[in-house]
Amino acid sequence: MQKQFEFHYSEDMFHLTDQFLTHHLEFTRQDEKSIYVVNQPTRVQLLRNRWHLNENEAISTAYPFTTFNRFIRDLIEKLSVPLKFLSFVERSLILKQILLETREELQYFSFPEGSIPDDTIRKLLRFFDDARLNLLDKDFIENGSRHLVLSTTDKLQSDLNLLFARYSNFMGKFFMDEAEILKHIMFRASSKFFDTYYPELLAIAFEDISGSRQLHLNFFNWLHEKGKSVFLLTSYGKNPELYGHKQSLFNKIRPMVKHIHGYFETVKISDSLFQIKSPHFSFWERVKIIPAPNRIAEVEQIAAEIKKMVLEEKTDSSRIGITGPQLEVYLPIIETVFRRHNIPFYHQQFIKLSQSPVAGTLELLLRTVMDEFALEGILKILHSPFFRYHEKLSGRSIADKFESLRVKSGKDNILTFIRNEKDILQKKEAEEYHADGETLELLENVLIRFFSDIRFLESPQTAGSIYTSLQKFLKRQWRAVSFNEDTAGSEILRSRSSMNFLNRIIELLNFWKDYMEKANPGYKFSCREFYEVFSSLCRSAYFSGQEGTHGGVQIVSMQELTGYDFSVLFVTGMEENVFPTRSSAFFTHPSNLPAQLQSLLPADQLLQDRELFFQLLQNPAELLRFSYSRYHQEQPILRSIFLRELQRISEEPLDEEALPPLPSHAELIGYLAEQFPPAKLDYHNLPEKWKALFAETELKHYHFKRSVIQRREEGVVTGLWEGDLSANAVLQEWFQSAFSTVCFSPTQLETFAACPHIFFQERIIGIKPAEELEEYLSPRERGSLVHAVLFRFFHENNPQDRKLDRLLSIASEEFESIPLPPGLIRDLQKEFYLGNDFNKGLFHSFWDYEMEQENLYPTKPTRFELSFGQGIISPERVDHLSTVNPFTYKHEDEIFYFRGKIDRVETAADGTVLVVDYKTGQFPALREMWEGLRLQLPIYLKAAGEILKNEKIKIRPGGGAFYSLKKENDIEKKIVFADKDSVLQPPLVTESARFPGNKYSIDNKPASLEDFLERIMQFAVKYIRDIKSGRFVHTTDKKQCVGWNGRLCDYLPVCRVNQAKQDRIRRENNFSTRHS
C-alpha cells in the first residue's frame, strides 16, 4: 500500500463512516494491516457487528476497530514506560490537593477552606488538559513571569501559572495524562519499534477528530513520518452556521495532508439550516414534532407510541432509542412510566460514589469522629448492615438505651454514664433488671471495641497511615455477606454492588496515598481534612452500572448515538434555553485570559449544539420523533429554536397533534358558566353524565365568589373581603388580644402607612415576596455590612485610637464573613468597599468625609447601635446603654410600645441630641415625615431622649440626620430636621428643615420641634389602633401604589384592588389619605 496522508469529511459522521469504509475495504479485509480508531467503546461493537453481517465475501472476519484510548495505551504499554496513566478523577484529586496546598498563595482562586467547588476543578482541569495538548506550557510560564499582580486579570493569570506549573510537574515526573502519553510515544517509539510490535501495520484511520488538539495533529503527522498511511475523518461542511467552530481545525489540517476528499449529496440539508435563503425539504413521515402539556405526559405519549410499535408493528424494542439534551431530568420519569406500562428498557447508569450507601456509611463514620462521637451517629453505625457491630447486638433493642443516656456526645462521657447505669442496676434486686444489665454490658463492650477500632482517626495521620489503618479496620469490621441457596437474588446483587463500590473507594484512596507520598510525604491529615478529601473523591468519581434489560428500549446520551443503530429514535426535552444551552463551560470570562491562552476556550457552544442537532437529523433511524413539554411546574416553556428552524425548511407541517391536557375544575366550571345562566347554574340542573365531574360544594363556592366580585364592582363601602375586618367581632377580639402589648418598629408602621393591605399580607398572614437572586450583595447585605463595620470601629476604639487602617482592617474582617462565592464578582465587591490602587473605596472615603465634618458639627458621636425593646441581644453588637425595655408612649390612657435600634447618637456639650441613621440607598424627605409616611427618625429621637435622660447633662432633642453611604463619591451627612434654638445652625441645616419655621404649621401657627414629634407619634398611634381594629384596606394614595395599577408591586398576585372604587373614595374624602 502506498504511503498516504488524507483528510476525509462529510456533513455527518453516520454517512462518512459507511462511505469511507466502502471505498477503503482494506480496513476490513487485511488482518493486522489496518487499524480503524474511534472514540467510544460502543462504536467499536457497532462497527464489528455491522461489517460482520455484511454479505460481501471479500470482507474478513478480523475486526480492526479500537478506541483511541486503547490504541495509545497499547503503545505506551509496549514501550514499558514506568509512569502510571491517570484517569480524569485521579487528576482532579491531584489538582484539588494542589489548590489546597497553595491556597495561601492564590489570589483569584481563593476559596474558604474545604469549599472548592467540584465544578470549578473539573473546568480548570479541562483547561489544563487542553493547554498541555496544545503545547502551550511555555505561554503559561512566560506570561506568569512578566505580569505584576495588580488587577483581577493579573490575579487569575498568576494563579493559573502557579497551578499549571505544579500540575505539569507531577504529570511529567510521576504520572501521565494523555498529553504525556503522546509525548512519550513520539519520543521513544522508533521505526524499529513498529517493525517489532506492528510488523504488518500499514494504515491507520482516525474517526471523528473534531476534538483534536495540536499534540494530536503532531501525533498523526508523526505516524505518517514513520511510514504509515494516515486517514483523518470528521464531519465538516461549507455552512459556517453549522461548522464555523471547526474552521480553525480545518485550516491546521489542510497544509498537513496530501489529499482532501469530501463525500456530499447533491442537495444538502446542511446548507439550508440557519440560512436566510434556502430550499425546502420533504421529511415525509420520518420526522415528527410532538408537543405535550408536561413532561410526564410527554413520556406517556412516547410510551404509548412504543407500545403500539412493539405490539402492532412488531418492532424490536432493542432497535428503539431514546435520547435528549436533558436526559438526566427525564430518566426518573421514563423509568416510572415504562415500568407502569411494562415496557422493557436499558441504560448505562453512572452513579456518583457519593450517592452509594457505602460512601454514605463511611462519611457517617468520619462525621461521628468529627462531632466528638455524637450519639445519633454512633447509633446509626451500630445498626448499619455494613459493619459487624450489629451482629453482636442481634436481638437487642439498644435504641431505647441510647435515648435514656443523658449525654449527647463524647466517648468517655458515654462509657461513664453506661457504667453508672450498670452500678445502679446491680444494686437492685428485682428480676426485671437482669436483662437490662446484660444489654448494657454488651453495649459497653461493643462501644469499647468501636472506639478502639477508629482511634486512628482521632489524631492527625499521614496519608499512608490513614490508608493502612482504614484497610485494617474494614477487613476486621466490614461485613462480608455469605450466600447460600436461600439467599435472594436481589440481596446478592446489592451485596456485590456494595463490594464493587467499596473496592472502587479503596482504589481511589490508594492513589491518593501514592500521590501524597510523592507530593508531601510528611503531611498529617486531621479527621476533618481527610473527610474533605474523601468527600471530594466520592463526589468526583462515578461507578458504572446497568439499569433494565439489554433487550429493551435503549436510553443513551446524544453524544453516544454514533455507537448505536436504531430504527426509531425519540428525542425528548427539546426546550428553549436547554438545547441550545446557555450555560458556560468555562471557569472565568474569556477577557480575563491573555490572547495566547484564549485559543483554549471552548468553541462556540451554539455552533456545537447546532451541529449536534444536525447529527440527530442525519441519524440513520427510519423514524425520528422530537418531543417537548409546553409547561413545567405551571411555567410556560418554548420549544427549541432548532425545532422552529426545522419547521421553516420543511415542505409540510411537522407538528403532530398531542393529546389535549386534562381541564382543571376551574376551567370546567368556567365552561358551565358559559352554558347556563347564573340563576340556573345549579348542581341538580346538570346532566347526569356531568355530575360525576363536579362536587356540589364547588358550584356553591363559585356562586359565593361571584357575589363578592359583584359587590366590589358595584363600589359599595369596603368590607370583609377587601381587608376591613373591623365589623367581625371574633376577629376584632383576636386583634385586640394579639397586639395589646406588641412592640412595633417604625419600619413596620411605615409599611402600614404605605399600604395597610401589604402590612396584612406580610405581617399578619406571613406572605413574603420571593427574593430575587443577585450576583452582587443584596440591599440588606450591604446595609448589614456597613452597620457592622461602623459599629465595631466606633465601639471597639477610643476616639484617639480611631484610625483609617483600623477601619479598613475591621471592614476586611466583616467582608470575609459574607457568604459571597469566590470569583470576579466577589473581587469587585471587595474593591468597592475596601478600594484598590485606583479607587479609595467606600470606607476610606467615609473616613475622609468624617474627618472633614468633625470640626463643623457641635455634636460628637457618643452612642452606636443603641437598642431598645429588642429583647436579649449580644452585648458585643449593641451599645452598653441598650435596654430590653421598649420605648412607651401614653395617649388617652392607652400605652403604646415601640422598639428599634438607633445607628448613631451624637450629643453636644449643652446636651443637644442628634440621632443619625446610616443609609446605603435612598433616604426620605422631611415632607414624607410630616405626612406620616416616614416615622423612624422622629420616633428614634423621642426614644433617645428617654434612654439618655439619666446622663450627667440635661438632654434636649436637637434633630435627626441621615448619613448617606451609597458609594465612595456619594457620601453625605444631612440633617433633615432640627430645633431652631439648638446648636444645630446653618449651614449644617437648611432653613426649611428648622422648627419652628414658615413651611410647616399647625392651626396656622409655625410648628415647633416638639409639635412635629408629637404629630409623628399621633400618626403612629392611629396606625396601631387601625391594626388592633383590623382595618387593612388598600391604600387610596396613587403615589404609594407603584404605578397605581400595581404592576411593580411584589404583592400583585394576591392583591384585588379596585382602582375605580379607590379613586371614588379618595375623591369623596377630598384628600390623599394612606388608607380608606
pLDDT at 555: 92
Q: What mean pLDDT is predicted for residues 339-363?
A: 81
Q: Who wins on pLDDT, 577 or 1058? A: 577
Q: How many CB atoms lie within 10 A of CB 324?
A: 27
- With 0-12 / 13-18 / 19 or more C-beta atoms within 10 angstroms meaning exposed / middle / buried, residue 680 is exposed
Distances (CA, A) of 914 to 107, 663, 882, 945: 43, 64, 17, 10
DSSP string covering 185-242? HHHH--HHHHHHH-TT--EEEE---TT--HHHHHHHHHHHHTT-EEEEEEE--S-HHH
The whole-angstrom separation of Cα 868 and Cα 743 is: 10
Strands 631-632 and 635-636, by their bridges, are: antiparallel
Say what the pLDDT of residue 936 is. Answer: 93
**The dihedral of CA 1041, 1044, 1046, 1049: what is its sign?**
negative
Residue type, 1018: Q
Identify the top-confidence range among 28-42, 492-506, 575-589.
28-42
Q: In the structure grid, which three cell numbers stand for residue 1057, read together?
A: 384592588
More confidently predicted of 27 and 232: 232
The whole-number pLDDT of residue 1057 equals 67
Distances, alpha carbon 890 to alpha carbons 608, 858, 864, in Å: 73, 33, 27
Average pLDDT over residues 446-474: 90
pLDDT band at 685 (very low <50, low <70, confident <90, very high): confident
Distance (Å, whole) CA 8 – CA 379: 65
| Average model confidence (pLDDT) across the chain | 81
Residues 1070 and 1076: their CA atoms lie apart, in Å, by 12
- The answer to whether the CB of 518 falls within 8 A of the CB of 171 is no
Task: Give the model's pLDDT for residue 433.
Answer: 47
Question: What percent of the chain clears pLDDT 70, i.e. is strictly above it?
Answer: 81
**Mean pLDDT over residues 327-346, rounded?**
86
Return the pLDDT at 873: 64
Residues 6+ apart with CB under 8 A from 545: 348, 349, 350, 351, 497
Residue 74, amino acid: D
DSSP state of 591: G
The per-residue pLDDT for 488 is 41
pLDDT digits (tens, 9 = 90+) for 711-724: 655 555 556 666 78
Q: Is the pLDDT of residue 765 over 60?
A: yes
User: Using CA atoms, how far apart are residues 576 and 573, in angstroms rounded to an integer?
Assistant: 9
Q: Is the dihedral of CA 874, 879, 880, 883 positive or negative?
A: negative
Tens of pLDDT along 206-215?
999 998 999 9
Q: For residue range 814-824, what is the model confidence (pLDDT) as tens digits?
A: 888 887 777 77
Q: Which of these, 309, 331, 314, lies nearest to 322 by C-alpha position?
A: 331
Q: What cell was used for 564?
A: 448505536
Low-confidence winner among 344-353, 395-404, 805-814, 1016-1025 (lowest mean pLDDT): 395-404
* Parallel, antiparallel or unpaired: strands 956-967 and 912-919: parallel
User: The sheet that has 320-323: what strands, in order across it?
Assistant: 287-292, 623-629, 568-571, 320-323, 553-555, 345-352, 542-548
Most confident range (mean pLDDT) of 37-46, 161-170, 690-699, 926-935 is 926-935
Task: Report which listed range, 477-491, 701-715, 814-828, is most confident.
Answer: 814-828
Strands 860-868 and 743-744 turn out to be unpaired
**Any idea which of 456-460, 652-656, 798-802, 1054-1058 has the lowest mean pLDDT?**
1054-1058
- Determine what percent of the chain falls in helix, strand and coil, rounding each to the nearest 5: 50, 15, 35
* Per-residue pLDDT, 897: 93
Is residue 906 scored above 90 in pLDDT? Answer: yes
Contacts of 826 (CB under 8 A, 6+ apart): 820
All cell numbers assigned to 947 = 434612654
Grade residue 607 by pLDDT with cuts at 50, 70 and 90.
confident
Cell of 145: 513571569
**pLDDT, tens digit, 9 for 90 and up, residues 278-314:** 788 888 778 999 898 889 989 988 988 887 787 667 7
**pLDDT score for 1010:** 93
How many C-beta neighbours within 10 Å does residue 725 have? 21
The answer to whether residue 941 scores a pLDDT higher than 80 is yes
Q: Are 48 and 565 in contact (CB under 8 A)?
A: no
pLDDT in tens, 36-65: 999 888 888 888 877 654 444 444 444 588
pLDDT over 50 at 783, yes or no: yes
Report residue 959 CA to chain centroid gap: 47
**What is the pLDDT, as a whole number, of residue 1076?**
36
